[in-house]
Amino acid sequence: MQDYVYLMLSAALVNNVILARFLGLCSFMGVTTRVDTAVGMGLATTFVITVSSMLNWAVEAYLLKPYDLLYLRTVTFILVIAAAVQFTEMTVRKISPSLFQMLGIYLPLITTNCAVLGVALLLVEGRMGFLESVLFALASSLGYSLVMVLFAGLRERLAVADVPPLFAGPPIGFIVASLLALAFMGFSGIGAH
């Protein structure tokens, strides 16, 4: 149990997908203008990353490795991720059209999010079992969501702050993101043994 906790803490905070591995930066800068949209995007990405990682683990374990097809890993994973996003979209639309009207706009943005492919590749390289892979993917995506919400809150505050014209817009955004990455470096060392 303790190993699982360290695994999740490491994935979510120490090796954060956005601030340590620099994945998913498009959505990080593009969908964090408001906290509520960041929450929606973060939870949608959490679902897609977890489900697609589960599927990718199965494809790696039962198809690619036994039949010596590891050279197809990247292409196959991208295909699985696209299918997972389509599945999510169809499922949400089926569960509730009202929910789809509210949440459907985020789903196309997730297909090309490199964080999804990055997490899948990281967990197969880590040679983890199935439950460890699912927990790793879940924790990574929760860390992603956490950073999205934090940054959205900071941007909302920056919107009413007195920023010098030279730094207004993307420059101050990147500076704030860098400071956030520095702050997350304080987590390094947790779980190391």
Q: Provide the binding-site residues for other proteins, judged by CB under 8 A.
A: 29-31, 33-34, 36-37, 39-40, 43-44, 46-47, 50-51, 54, 57-58, 61, 82, 85-86, 91-105, 108-109, 111-112, 129-131, 134, 138, 156, 159-160, 168-170, 173
24/187 with CB nearer other proteins: 24
| Overall residue count recorded for the chain in this entry | 193
User: Between residues 67 and 192, which has the closer beta carbon with respect to other proteins?
Assistant: 67
Q: With respect to other proteins, which residue has the nearer C-beta, 20 or 121?
A: 121
Among 4, 2, 23, 6, residue whose Cα is nearest residue 122: 23
Residue 145 backbone phi and psi in degrees, to 5: -65, -40
Min separation Cβ 121 and other proteins, Å = 17
Rounded to 5 degrees, what are φ and ψ at 10? Answer: -65, -45
Report the residue number, 19 or 38, with the smaller CB distance to other proteins: 38
What six digits make up the tokens of 91?
């499922």
Q: Nearer to other proteins by C-beta: 109 or 121?
A: 109
Minimum distance, C-beta of residue 97 to other proteins, in the bound complex (Å): 8
Q: Which amino acid is at 98?
A: S
Least Å from the CB of residue 189 to other proteins: 27
Smallest gap, in angstroms, from Cβ of residue 187 to other proteins? 23
DSSP assignment string, 129-190: -HHHHHHHHHHHHHHHHHHHHHHHHHHHHHHTS---GGGTTHHHHHHHHHHHHHHHGGGTTT
